[in-house]
Amino acid sequence: MDELNNNIMEEVMRRLSAVASSSEEKCCEEAAAATSPTCNLTEYVGTTMGHTIGLVIANVDHQVHEALKIDPKYRAIGIISDRVGAGPQIFAADEAVKATNSECLLVECPRDTEGGAGHGSLIIFGAEDVSDARRAVEVCLREIPRTMGDVYGNSAGHLEFQYSARASYVLNKVWGAPIGKAFGITVGAPAGIGVVLADAASKAATIDAVTIATPGNGGTSFSNEVNYFFSGDSGAVKQAIIAARDVGLQLLKALAPDEELKSTTTPYIL
Amino acid sequence: MDELNNNIMEEVMRRLSAVASSSEEKCCEEAAAATSPTCNLTEYVGTTMGHTIGLVIANVDHQVHEALKIDPKYRAIGIISDRVGAGPQIFAADEAVKATNSECLLVECPRDTEGGAGHGSLIIFGAEDVSDARRAVEVCLREIPRTMGDVYGNSAGHLEFQYSARASYVLNKVWGAPIGKAFGITVGAPAGIGVVLADAASKAATIDAVTIATPGNGGTSFSNEVNYFFSGDSGAVKQAIIAARDVGLQLLKALAPDEELKSTTTPYIL
Amino acid sequence: MDELNNNIMEEVMRRLSAVASSSEEKCCEEAAAATSPTCNLTEYVGTTMGHTIGLVIANVDHQVHEALKIDPKYRAIGIISDRVGAGPQIFAADEAVKATNSECLLVECPRDTEGGAGHGSLIIFGAEDVSDARRAVEVCLREIPRTMGDVYGNSAGHLEFQYSARASYVLNKVWGAPIGKAFGITVGAPAGIGVVLADAASKAATIDAVTIATPGNGGTSFSNEVNYFFSGDSGAVKQAIIAARDVGLQLLKALAPDEELKSTTTPYIL
């Protein structure tokens, strides 16, 4: 009987996964896939959770170069692109640029998360040499399971927290983070939760607000998030995040009390 | 055997609800949840259908105040935020402002509905006293099941109709409704249905067009809706809505003939 | 036993289809519905795949005319509106305008695909006579199953390729296609795949880039796509598309290796 049940459930789940993967959690819970052995294209670097793909082009065609308004000196580009998540990929990209001889040329955040409330991302690294561009993509892919650690979701929305002890060029380019200082973000969806997170963060420690993104102020792509960006002393930034996270988990839980609300991977802000 | 079937179906539905709640109907059909006993934060007011949460902050942190560009005299803010629906929440907010000593400071409509064709909303009320801000949120939460009454959805899209006998400050702020006059809206998704609704409403009675929102004209957040806003004599506005609703139900039904198309709660425009 | 399994699966699939149709594939795989016999409104023309509906208004109300900023000389309008897909509908509309005595007055692309990574569309044709407007809608509906032929999707994203041997007014209006020349597009989602498609197309043949659309450059509605538009010699445009398609199928497959990646209908670019 149980076997029957299991057979049926397997069949059901198989069909389901063909129908849709429109929930953020599902996507985030995917095991971080290693480089797929099925793709032999030279442009392919690898994939990871959040339907993230890493790609590289050794010598970008001049018409595409121009259309994308990329400085011609970057003959090689690395690409990170995903459906679920922008913060995790952008913080990972900041580490990638620190660790490699590459620049971040473009960061755009489509309205996505496969039916969820937030963004995907498109990140382009530039390098003069293809091995540097590829290396940036590899570092970024490797960092993403870590930066997914403080992403929490249920059917009603999601929360995200990111922390960097020393913000570098990507965080500066995207959100105006002061370079070299500790930098944190709190994300709440639906957006109203994000307002309370911002307030809780600001009250918990002495931090400097950098900016706030709301659904309609241009800081998001009309996503259902309020995102708060702040810098400051390393301990204060962490303390602000931890206080906001505690509040956010309670509020998002209230919208879906029967669902477990847990880290996508393993929390890293301790 | 039936029991077996039921057991299996329960298991299936349990897993399903964990996978996704990306359909508008599902969300709307949720019973209007009462104040959850599970959240003890002082900021928490309650939840209702459409994954709507009501929140209050007694004394907003000055940095957040400033970042949100809110007049400092409103020390307390009330927040309504949801994933599914903007019209129902905005019409409810209009009643809330009428009934309480509060102002509506911000209304933004993210592109959402959890994979559906429309919006969520973020509404912020301001008050000098926290009890007034909380009261506005409570009234709004209480009104939403009513204003969800003329929301109809199937897998192909949705229809929404709202009517106010006397538009007040929120409807004026968001859509330019003439204050004190009857005001109505028709919403059709996919957008083409909304064009026909606008035409049907205009032909059915002598109304004054206030504005129209299309996917690309800035009136929506790139949602797949055409929304028509009109005022006029109370009887005429109602008559226009009822005529449009009759047309809309037939058109949306044509896109998913096998699905029942019914009110999310109970129609209130009679 | 198999019968039991089948009974259960039918029940499951029935409930599923009531819950959501938020996946692009599902929608695209729907049989192209013929004119539904269930809708008797004079405005109704028909439906087809992608949750596409065709509508016509014989004599548009003057207030709606004005609000939509449509030239008053077009008393009749035809409407194509859908949830899943913009390219297929726009290329079909180009054929419709070629084949009928109508003009294309408006094309807007909401952020949609029912939880997917792309767009829906809203297309309005104008004509002085209602029979011409209706005819344009009919031709467009009839063409869509063909132009869905090079749309490929899985749970991670989608690819789309379109080709016209002779671009006409709609392709010119929407994307600046040179009139009378061969015109092609490549679409990749998530967006990074679209960057590689653009590069592959440009390198495969001598084509002229017309423009590129990215999630944040205004060419999309914050969708998770990069779209490349090019014209040139008929053979070259086809060759570029075919090369890009070959690359795209491998990359999108890498994000969901266990899912079959096949044409929504039948590929037409050979």
C68/B195 CB distance under 8 A:
yes
Residues 6+ apart with CB under 8 A from A16: B16, B19, C16
B46 and B36 Cβ atoms separated by less than 8 Å: yes
Asked if omega into A190 is within 30° of 0 (cis), the reply is yes
d(CA C183, CA C195): 18
Q: If phi over 0 gives left and psi between -120 and 50 gives alpha, with beta otherwise, what is residue A95? A: alpha
Supply angle C-alpha B126, B130, B132, rounded to 5. Answer: 70
B257/C36 CB distance under 8 A:
yes
Q: Is the pTM of this model over 0.90?
A: no
Q: If phi over 0 gives left and psi between -120 and 50 gives alpha, with beta otherwise, what is residue C24? A: alpha
C21/B223 CB distance under 8 A:
no
B110/A220 CB distance under 8 A:
yes
- DSSP output for A196-208: HHHHHHHHHS--E
Could you tell me which chains touch chain B, where touching means 3 or more CB pairs under 8 A?
A: A, C
A47 and A41 Cβ atoms separated by less than 8 Å: no
CA distance B108 to chain A (A): 6
B-C CB pairs within 8 A amount to 167
User: Band of the pLDDT at B37, cuts 50, 70, 90?
Assistant: low
d(CA A80, CA A55): 7
pLDDT per residue, tens digit, chain C (270 aa), is 344 444 444 444 444 333 333 333 344 444 444 444 679 999 999 999 999 999 999 999 999 999 999 999 999 999 999 999 999 999 999 999 999 999 999 999 999 999 999 999 999 999 999 999 999 999 999 999 999 999 999 999 999 999 999 999 999 999 999 999 999 999 999 999 999 999 999 999 999 999 999 999 999 999 999 999 999 999 999 999 999 999 999 999 999 999 999 999 999 999
CA distance A132 to chain B (A): 37
d(CA B149, CA B8): 33
d(CA C224, CA B263): 33
Does the structure show a pLDDT above 90 at B156?
A: yes
d(CA B122, CA B124): 7
d(CA B262, CA C106): 32
Could you tell me which chains touch chain A, where touching means 3 or more CB pairs under 8 A?
A: B, C
Query: What confidence score (pLDDT) does residue C37 get?
Result: 61
> Which residue does chain B place closest to A111, by CA atoms?
B111
DSSP reduced 3-state for B131: helix
DSSP reduced 3-state for A90: helix
Higher pLDDT, B129 or A19: B129
d(CA B202, CA B247): 13
Question: Which residue among C190, C212, C216 places its CB closest to the CB of A83?
Answer: C190
Residues 6+ apart with CB under 8 A from A133: A56, A57, A76, A77, A78, A102, A125, A126, A127
Query: What confidence score (pLDDT) does residue C11 get?
Result: 44
B215 and C86 Cβ atoms separated by less than 8 Å: no
Query: What confidence score (pLDDT) does residue A38 get?
Result: 74
Dihedral, CA of residue B16, residue B22, residue B27 and residue B28, to nearest 10 = -130
C115/A20 CB distance under 8 A:
yes
Which of A5, A6, A11, A19 best probes binding to C when mutated, by most C CB atoms within 10 angstroms? Answer: A19
C41/B13 CB distance under 8 A:
no
The angle that helices B191-204 and B234-255 make with each other, rounded to 10 degrees, is 150
C122/B192 CB distance under 8 A:
yes
pLDDT tens digits, one per residue of B94-118: 999 999 999 999 999 999 999 999 9
Owner of token pair 């390098």: A127
Residues 6+ apart with CB under 8 A from B132: B76, B100, B101, B102
Residues 6+ apart with CB under 8 A from C258: none
User: Band of the pLDDT at B38, cuts 50, 70, 90?
Assistant: confident
d(CA B79, CA A193): 9
Q: If phi over 0 gives left and psi between -120 and 50 gives alpha, with beta otherwise, what is residue C148? A: alpha
CA distance A217 to chain B (A): 9
DSSP reduced 3-state for B6: helix
C53/B193 CB distance under 8 A:
yes
Chain B hits for A228, CB-CB cut-off 8 Å, are: 64, 67
CA distance A248 to chain B (A): 10
CA distances in angstroms from A174 to A52, A170, B104, C222, listed in the order given: 19, 6, 31, 16
d(CA C270, CA C265): 14
Query: What confidence score (pLDDT) does residue C16 get?
Result: 39
ipTM entry: 0.86
pLDDT tens digits, one per residue of A181-234: 999 999 999 999 999 999 999 999 999 999 999 999 999 999 999 999 999 999
Question: Which residue among C215, C250, C259 places its CB closest to the CB of A110?
Answer: C215
CA distance A121 to chain C (A): 8
Owner of token pair 């995207």: A174
Instruction: Give the tokens for residue C107.
Output: 């094309």
Does the structure show a pLDDT above 80 at B5?
A: no
Residues 6+ apart with CB under 8 A from B25: B153, B154, B264, C18
CA distances in angstroms from B208 to B108, B221, B227, C10, C166, listed in the order given: 25, 24, 14, 50, 44
d(CA B154, CA A247): 35
> Which residue does chain A place closest to C209, by CA atoms?
A63
Query: What confidence score (pLDDT) does residue A37 get?
Result: 60
Question: Which residue among B117, B203, B225 places its CB closest to the CB of C61?
Answer: B203
CA distance A207 to chain C (A): 30
Instruction: Taking the CA atoms of C20, C26, C28 and C29 in sequence, report the sign of the dihedral they define.
Output: negative
> Which residue does chain C place closest to B198, by CA atoms?
C64
Instruction: Give the tokens for residue A39.
Output: 């793709």
pLDDT tens digits, one per residue of B170-229: 999 999 999 999 999 999 999 999 999 999 999 999 999 999 999 999 999 999 999 999
CA distance A90 to chain C (A): 15
DSSP reduced 3-state for C269: coil
Question: Which residue among B51, B115, B122 places its CB closest to the CB of A255?
Answer: B51
Does the structure show a pLDDT above 50 at A260?
A: yes
A211 and A226 Cβ atoms separated by less than 8 Å: no
CA distances in angstroms from B238 to A31, B205, B210, B229, listed in the order given: 54, 9, 15, 12
B190/C82 CB distance under 8 A:
yes
d(CA B7, CA A162): 42
- Other CB atoms within a 10 A radius of the CB of residue C89 amount to 31
CA distances in angstroms from A249 to A160, A224, A256, A262, B189, listed in the order given: 10, 17, 11, 9, 33
Bridge partners of B188? B159, B226
> Which residue does chain A place closest to C7, by CA atoms?
A8
d(CA B40, CA B36): 9
Supply angle C-alpha A106, A24, A85, rounded to 5. Answer: 15
Question: Which residue among C22, C57, C110 places its CB closest to the CB of B191?
Answer: C110
